Amino acid sequence: MTTQITVRLADESVAFVDQLVADGRAKSRADAVDRALRRERRWLSALRDAEIYARAEPDPELEAWAAHASARPSQLDD
């Protein structure tokens, strides 16, 4: 389900979104904005997880996983 909303964006933001569409990197303005919001949601979730891990006791298995994961490309932008 989708809901149509109206937002006001700075001219340079609209130009950026329009360029994404023109370059084929987004299907539409709505797609570009939706992808940006989903990316922001994932980023905030990852940040919250990192804060939880930072407060936890050291875990050798988690440290090995973190070293492995940090050597791989990020999937946050998919």
pLDDT in tens, the chain (78 residues): 999 999 999 999 999 999 999 999 999 999 999 999 999 999 999 999 989 878 888 888 878 888 888 887 776 655
Alpha-carbon dihedral sign for residues 64, 70, 75, 77: positive
DSSP code at position 57: P
Q: What is the pLDDT of residue 75?
A: 65
Measured CA to CA, the distance from residue 25 to residue 38 in angstroms comes to 15
pTM score = 0.68
| Residue 54: CB atoms within 10 Å | 7
Tokens of 56: 């936890």
Q: Could you tell me if 20 and 26 are in contact, meaning their C-beta atoms sit under 8 angstroms apart? A: yes
Q: What is the pLDDT of residue 76?
A: 61
Q: What is the pLDDT of residue 22?
A: 98
